[in-house]
Structure 1
């Protein structure tokens, strides 16, 4: 079996800082962490490393259940009561580090009143500890950060990082080595896949990562790249506890999205960019992408499919949950959401219809809360170094603050327009293939390229959501009459639909004009050229002015977005 999670070496930045603080004889330190064993092991490593700390020190542990115990588990007197424990430390005459676990309960908070005698005792001890010939440090560890005002100037807070990639990979490598010796679990992973599995566990504690690896091995007796899903399920527990972020489990794949090949190529080139192999090229982790355009054309669909392509967890940030009635809580909610996303990185953070959350940033009706939260988000987007890929979607371009679209926030801005004929054929093929499976429903109907070509021309101006719905409407026609599907059912559904390109023609023109200089088209150049060559709508005749077809014809030739191929 691998070593206990607490046996990690002292290599992280936080461990080096801790060593320097101990060497400088800071009397009181506070570490907020859930990983008691790992913290204790790191402290013990530091205490005996003369290269980090000149004077080796004994490490003692205090718990309210055991009192003060040494490394062998021997009790050091009747020290369960906090005052007696502090008196023992005050009189101790050998170099030592005392780790006080869950001592925060005497500091108040969470509905408890502080123990003022304990607080006073800590203040009384301060000078004596500093003047003691033998170096003595007290380290408080707790899952919660609770400090009484009386001690805020005396206690130094130390950030203790979650396990690094190297620490998690070391646990995985050791578990694989042990299981290979025993021969119980079949290991079917390449070095790169092993790296991806370890990367997927970032954000977990070592204990959580070890449990996830063990579960992945024993569920089917194999360990392969598909077990990344098991790791993501463990991460889902972290997300559920925040109440702000939502863990999205999507079965969608890129193959389920019709068209948008330019955007797909861009995303494909950035796949695996969080792996160590990308560092050879000096590549930073991609920041994110803003996808805007006509409603119903697949923005949310492709956002969900990135998760399966990259095999990364997908988190949805609901801006509405960020804002609440308590003063200052909205800013804290945003900090909490960002911190959680960074903790489980690499991951994808999806913000759907971002303009609805940040459209009122210039308004003073909320005493500037929206502006402060928005500024906090912008600063993080600009300066973040964590591997959190932000996918933001927007329908209403006018509602987007200009600061959001400045270079450096997102890597690229893509515009999703009405689907071209080639894209409509692909969308039709996807939805019809997905639903037409039963032989009695199919009957004599054949899904040929000629049928798709005919329907794609007929549904000129339809968005992807409308194409899906016309397939459903046609099937309802056949179901209502208890017969197999006919081509005429699809044609009738098209005729009975008034598309967005007609009802919102003016809005689409405005969106396209905006995108012509600010965004890159998600549709590749070859599809756009094919689209421009189309001469008519529906049956080949010119639509009558003011007719339903006229709206689609008006907006067809001025498509939005710069034509850059990736």
Structure 2
């Protein structure tokens, strides 16, 4: 199955379009050359390649075996005689006057064609204008010629005066059918695999380009039997799927500066109302819901003070829905400078291709604190995508201060649900303590609870206004201190016995060494809580646990 980018390019080449801009990732470079060469071979056209690293134009062809062949073009016709940048770009004059009935691929000149807001030195700007004029001349003089110049790079960013003159084609991430076709032709897996196995392996590769998928499977055992039994086929698909998924997670994290997490397995204490809502969202992913024209919400916002568990809650929500989670630090885009919008665009395209996922933007409000032009452009890009997308992507964003966000970002149709993630009440703190204590003290596992009600009341009263992150720290410190004391006292033998047991006194001792944020910065935290009260839905029901009576609010 041929990629959509090659269908589009073939149409332009057939129509003898003089200029075409193509955006294709670097890892697809060889496959791109091969695809264009195959088109030219089929149409009886010559194919050429030139980039900044070449001192001569290369002729691109296909060998008898179907492989890519690059050869130096006739040196007598090569106009580049010295390694000078100004002479490099005379390739445009050469193409205008010398070659007929062909295709020339020119790589990596997009930096000279980008948007006007990029501040560059005078020499760079003069070179940029010279290149733009050369390209426009090509379009003017070659309008009726049987040749096409393809501009190739990983980001086809054109200035406004060029956008209307040069059509842009994007090399999109492959869909499931294209991935299956790539896998069948890669000769990495036995061709006799059942169709269901091809689909299962291909689904693991969704979100990767074809070259990455082949590279991710390259180390598989190639000595598979051609005659497969059912059990052998299952073993192969299990091995291939596992390897491809591991490769995908590692590569996506590096390429997009994100954290891609398969459906996580975590526990959350509290926030029952929010968890119930995501149970409903899970049902909306079903094909039956689609028949009723029902869709998952476009966006969900978590509002509340720092440390209340918003990031952890996002993982739980992805777990409830049974879909992968993509964690994104919104502030990272601002640090990318001129490439921020390009990186966000690619990330959103990835999310659309992955389809049924939760994408979590952490600390979204901090990206808008400066109220600068970049913030507004990024916000506009995110809003447009959220408004127009058709994929089943649930966007979750965490914010501490909603007043820093543009008003249009929080209206219905963008973020349909806004939940207040507040300081945990007594019942929730009890659940959070048990959840973390079970990591160190086996008495808390499987529903166990070694503390008395009176001991819990002491602990919960002492940790009033502590958030989940602070409770986790208290437990971890208490466990470390208990272990140290056991080790110093010679209590631990070679078999790591006895088991570590947490005490209320150890937990209270660690609490005394901590000054919770909600007390240390009471005014700021209460301001956040008050505004979240006004704008958000409650994420937790009223505390009806046996410890509720001791939940005394202060600083209100």
What is the TM-score of this pair, normalised by structure 1?
0.68
User: Is the 1:285–1:385 Cα contact (8 Å) retained in structure 2?
Assistant: no
RMSD: 5.0
Q: What residue is the counterpart of 1:39 in the other structure? A: 32
Q: Secondary structure at the match of 2:59?
A: strand
Cα 1:487/1:151, change in 2 over 3 Å: closer
How far apart in 1 are the matches of 2:530 and 2:250?
Answer: 43
**How many angstroms does 1:319 deviate by?**
2.0
Q: What residue is the counterpart of 1:355 in the other structure? A: 365
How far apart in 2 are the matches of 1:374 and 1:161?
Answer: 23
| Equivalent of 1:166 in 174, 177, 180 | 177
Q: What residue is the counterpart of 1:431 in the other structure? A: 436
User: Is the 2:327–2:362 Cα contact (8 Å) retained in structure 1?
Assistant: no
Q: What residue is the counterpart of 1:25 in the other structure? A: 16
Q: Following superposition of structure 1 onto structure 2, how do residues 256-335 of structure 1 map, counting pairs within 5 Å?
A: 256-270=267-281, 282=293, 284=295, 286-304=297-315, 310=322, 312=324, 314-319=326-331, 322=334, 329=337, 332-335=338-341
Are positions 1:198 and 2:205 aligned together? yes
Q: Secondary structure at the match of 2:324?
A: coil
Q: What residue is the counterpart of 1:544 in the other structure? A: none
Q: What residue is the counterpart of 1:68 in the other structure? A: 59
Q: What residue is the counterpart of 1:9 in the other structure? A: 2
CA deviation digits over 1:241-274, x for unaligned, max 9?
A: xxxxx32366994533222233334345545978
CA deviation digits over 1:528-549, x for unaligned, max 9?
A: 2515993345xxxxxxxxxxxx
How far apart in 2 are the matches of 1:272 and 1:190?
Answer: 26
User: Is the 2:326–2:358 Cα contact (8 Å) retained in structure 1?
Assistant: yes
How far apart in 2 are the matches of 1:172 and 1:476?
Answer: 50
User: Is the 2:180–2:199 Cα contact (8 Å) retained in structure 1?
Assistant: no
**How many angstroms does 1:120 deviate by?**
8.6
User: Is the 2:325–2:360 Cα contact (8 Å) retained in structure 1?
Assistant: no
Q: What residue is the counterpart of 1:410 in the other structure? A: 415
CA deviation digits over 1:418-467, x for unaligned, max 9?
A: 33444333322221110225xxxx8x999843627555443153432232
Q: Secondary structure at the match of 1:338?
A: helix
| Equivalent of 1:58 in 45, 54, 57 | 45
How far apart in 2 are the matches of 1:511 and 1:485?
Answer: 37
**How many angstroms does 1:408 deviate by?**
1.6
User: Is the 1:358–1:400 Cα contact (8 Å) retained in structure 2?
Assistant: yes
How far apart in 2 are the matches of 1:509 and 1:289?
Answer: 22
CA deviation digits over 1:299-347, x for unaligned, max 9?
A: 12223455667553624224265068xxxx4xx4431231231243236
Cα 1:399/1:532, change in 2 over 3 Å: farther
User: Is the 1:250–1:305 Cα contact (8 Å) retained in structure 2?
Assistant: no
| Equivalent of 1:232 in 240, 243, 249 | 249
**How many angstroms does 1:191 deviate by?**
8.1
User: Is the 1:425–1:452 Cα contact (8 Å) retained in structure 2?
Assistant: no
CA deviation digits over 1:73-115, x for unaligned, max 9?
A: 596961586549876885666xx44132438499899998969
How far apart in 2 are the matches of 1:189 and 1:357?
Answer: 44
Q: Secondary structure at the match of 1:390?
A: strand
Runs (5+) with no aligned partner, structure 1: 1-7, 50-55, 240-245, 538-549, 556-566
User: Is the 1:27–1:137 Cα contact (8 Å) retained in structure 2?
Assistant: yes
**How many angstroms does 1:350 deviate by?**
3.3
Q: Secondary structure at the match of 1:263?
A: helix
Q: Name whichever of 500-509 and 427-436 sits farther off.
A: 500-509
Q: What residue is the counterpart of 2:346 in the other structure? A: 340
Which one scores higher on RCO, CA 8 angstroms, separation ≥ 6?
2
Q: Following superposition of structure 1 onto structure 2, how do residues 177-192 of structure 1 map, counting pairs within 5 Å?
A: 178-179=189-190, 181=192
How far apart in 1 are the matches of 2:369 and 2:129?
Answer: 48
Runs (5+) with no aligned partner, structure 2: 64-68, 81-90, 115-119, 223-234, 490-499
What is the TM-score of this pair, normalised by structure 2?
0.69
Q: Secondary structure at the match of 2:544?
A: helix
Cα 1:266/1:48, change in 2 over 3 Å: farther
CA deviation digits over 1:50-85, x for unaligned, max 9?
A: xxxxxx442423355663354455969615865498
